Chain A
């Protein structure tokens, strides 16, 4: 108990509540365009934190997270259009679908090591994308739109709907940060940290590597499914290309975490902020900003593997979300 109520945890908890209140009140003071931008920021933040848990902690280098984002998006549309569900009820369905898909692929993909696992996750994502683009009732390659009546079930006014979607995105963004923080400070989180530092040694002191990785992978898949559902609830249209986009849901996320600082919770936050700043600056240059991000990620890996936050930590000893354990 002392662990859970320790000072840093309490501070972080209070800090998160303050941040949550500020963001949650945004529909009162921000315009529609700003809300959309913050909402998008939250979705990228959530995906970045989740990918960081996989690669930075569990040592699972996935380049196939678009599988779960896209699957979640499609489950929302299937739930609303074919099962007549309220969109808000379809979101848990998307989470379950993501987790189940993760649980099916994990035992197969875990047979591949390191980089081969990475490419394997990519093949898994391609497979799911190809299956969805081959189903005529789901609009095949062209995709489909959410009917207006179904969307009205969330709120009558457009502003009301935008606010609800926004709150969902904030909940996912900050919720993921809070969840990751709590997880890493918990006992299972300790196994993850041990895994990150030395998988072989972790195994020899009794950490069940397979199990730790399996549950991390499944949990991240489920959460990604939920985020995918909300992202496409906002877009109101889905197609295989947008749902299973490697660039949007994986490449950008990887660059965010690598540049921000892999294996550090703060890294995902700093990286997401930096990405949005860069994107606003370079939006007119199209492909150039992907080249810039790619080169920045390569240089980070070559010269400063812990990214921007790793540098800050070393230089100033700062820690926004202290996950290090100290004796009491």
Chain B
């Protein structure tokens, strides 16, 4: 029974990891950029939400009305004025600049908010649960999972059906030609990053009501998201959901064996997938 319970909880946790992964996968799909500070921006979003909640008394979920546009604007600015300058043939600049950003964000958060662990309160919903047969499901994990699936569906549909999605795909396939026919690629890249940051904002708030966070919580979120991306297969948003679930379930089963084994189990499964199916479980067919 414990095992089934662990698997179900792991699947729900996987939804959150898929959210971490979706923002990462999105910008990689559009501009082949990997944002090493991704996890730190998730934590930054959590702190921004915390400040907003403390100063306005808003509900944690209501704070998204402000956190999402703020983060999206930040993403646009960072891409437009910093990261666009690093794109090109050389692999190192984008990696090193986002790596530098990660360290700067962590230490700035440390200076402003100190090392205390924080958590956002979402009210009675935190402890609410529904019984499905013998298993009791937390409303919050269920909600997180539903939001993840909904957002991924929205991104997937937007990517293939909308005008801006077409511009994203055109720029991704052939930036030079896209630019030649009048697409402002720098603007498109910045919009993609803004979208990624909007997802980061949602992920940050959901993370913060679910678990404790501190200035150095970011790297682990990056790593879980990254594992979900690679396990799912590069370029596939539904793959990232599957990858997130694989990591969530591995961690939940690992934790059943021993608490020390929780994160390790996820890493070991990641390396196993890399050894057996290096292109991931759902490689995108071109």
Name A's B-contacting residues (CB within 8 A).
Answer: 55, 59, 61, 63, 108, 111-112, 114-116, 118-120, 122-124, 126-127, 130-131, 133-134, 140, 246, 251, 254-255, 258, 262, 286-288, 290-291, 293-295, 297-298, 301-302, 305
User: Which residue in chain A gives the minimum CB-CB distance to B263?
Assistant: A130
Chosen A-B contacts, 28 in total, with CB atoms closer than 8 Å, are A55-B92, A61-B96, A108-B271, A111-B274, A112-B274, A115-B33, A116-B34, A116-B230, A118-B36, A120-B274, A123-B223, A123-B227, A127-B271, A130-B264, A134-B258, A134-B260, A140-B260, A254-B96, A254-B99, A287-B108, A290-B106, A291-B104, A294-B100, A294-B107, A298-B100, A301-B86, A302-B97, A305-B92
B91 is an interface residue with CB less than 8 A from chain A: yes
Q: How far is the CA of A258 from the CA of B100 in the complex (A)?
A: 10
> With A123-B223, A297-B100 in contact, is A115–B91 under 8 Å at CB?
yes
Question: Which residues of B have CB within 8 Å of A291?
Answer: 103-104, 107-108, 111
In the complex, the answer to whether B111 meets A288 with C-beta atoms within 8 Å is: yes
For residue B264, give the distance in angstroms from its CB to the closest CB of chain A.
Answer: 4
User: Which residue in chain A gives the minimum CB-CB distance to B110?
Assistant: A287
Interface residues as binary, B264-286 with A (CB distance below 8 Å gives 1, 0 otherwise):
10011011001100100000000
Question: Which residues of A have CB within 8 Å of B268?
Answer: 127
In the complex, the answer to whether B260 meets A133 with C-beta atoms within 8 Å is: yes
Q: How far is the CA of A118 from the CA of B37 in the complex (A)?
A: 13
In the complex, the answer to whether B264 meets A295 with C-beta atoms within 8 Å is: no
Question: Which residues of B have CB within 8 Å of A287?
Answer: 107-108, 110-111
User: Which residue in chain B gives the minimum CB-CB distance to A295?
Assistant: B104
B76 is an interface residue with CB less than 8 A from chain A: no
B20 is an interface residue with CB less than 8 A from chain A: no
Interface residues as binary, B246-271 with A (CB distance below 8 Å gives 1, 0 otherwise):
00000000000010110110011011
Would you call the interface of chain A mostly helix, strand, loop, or mixed?
helix
> With A127-B267, A288-B111, A301-B93 in contact, is A295–B100 under 8 Å at CB?
yes
Q: How far is the CA of A120 from the CA of B271 in the complex (A)?
A: 9
Q: Interface size (B, Cβ < 8 Å)?
A: 43
In the complex, the answer to whether A123 meets B95 with C-beta atoms within 8 Å is: no
In the complex, the answer to whether B274 meets A115 with C-beta atoms within 8 Å is: no
Q: How far is the CA of A120 from the CA of B231 in the complex (A)?
A: 12
Q: How far is the CA of A134 from the CA of B266 in the complex (A)?
A: 15
In the complex, the answer to whether A122 meets B95 with C-beta atoms within 8 Å is: no
Question: Which residues of B have CB within 8 Å of A301?
Answer: 86, 92-93, 96-97, 100
In the complex, the answer to whether A305 meets B90 with C-beta atoms within 8 Å is: yes
For residue B284, give the distance in angstroms from its CB to the closest CB of chain A.
Answer: 15
Q: How far is the CA of A294 from the CA of B275 in the complex (A)?
A: 34
Name which of A118, A122, A123, A301 has the most chain B CB atoms within 10 A of its CB: A301
> With A254-B96, A294-B107, A302-B85 in contact, is A134–B264 under 8 Å at CB?
yes
User: Which residue in chain B gives the minimum CB-CB distance to A126?
Assistant: B267
Question: Which residues of B have CB within 8 Å of A140?
Answer: 260
For residue B243, give the distance in angstroms from its CB to the closest CB of chain A.
Answer: 13
Q: How far is the CA of A123 from the CA of B227 in the complex (A)?
A: 9
Q: How far is the CA of A293 from the CA of B100 in the complex (A)?
A: 8
Interface residues as binary, B167-182 with A (CB distance below 8 Å gives 1, 0 otherwise):
0000000000000000
In the complex, the answer to whether B260 meets A294 with C-beta atoms within 8 Å is: no
Q: How far is the CA of A130 from the CA of B251 in the complex (A)?
A: 13
User: Which residue in chain B gives the minimum CB-CB distance to A112?
Assistant: B230
Question: Which residues of A have CB within 8 Å of B183?
Answer: none
In the complex, which of the residues A61, A108, A286, A305 contacts B274, with contact meaning CB atoms closer than 8 Å? A108
Question: Which residues of A have CB within 8 Å of B149?
Answer: none
In the complex, the answer to whether A115 meets B36 with C-beta atoms within 8 Å is: yes
For residue A133, give the distance in angstroms from its CB to the closest CB of chain B.
Answer: 7
Question: Which residues of A have CB within 8 Å of B95?
Answer: 61, 114-115, 118
Question: Which residues of A have CB within 8 Å of B85?
Answer: 302
Name which of A61, A122, A288, A291 has the most chain B CB atoms within 10 A of its CB: A291
Question: Which residues of B have CB within 8 Å of A293?
Answer: 103
Shortest Cβ-Cβ A-B pairs, 3 listed: A115-B34, A287-B107, A294-B104
In the complex, the answer to whether B92 meets A298 with C-beta atoms within 8 Å is: no
User: Which residue in chain B gives the minimum CB-CB distance to A135?
Assistant: B260
B70 is an interface residue with CB less than 8 A from chain A: no
B73 is an interface residue with CB less than 8 A from chain A: no
B219 is an interface residue with CB less than 8 A from chain A: yes
Q: A115-B34, A123-B223 are in contact. List 11 more A-B contacts (CB 8 A).
A: A59-B91, A122-B219, A246-B219, A255-B103, A286-B111, A288-B107, A291-B104, A294-B100, A294-B104, A298-B104, A301-B96
In the complex, which of the residues B101, B222, B263, B271 contacts A294, with contact meaning CB atoms closer than 8 Å? B101
B128 is an interface residue with CB less than 8 A from chain A: no
Question: Which residues of A have CB within 8 Å of B34?
Answer: 114-116, 118-119
User: Which residue in chain A gives the minimum CB-CB distance to B262?
Assistant: A130
For residue B79, give the distance in angstroms from its CB to the closest CB of chain A.
Answer: 13
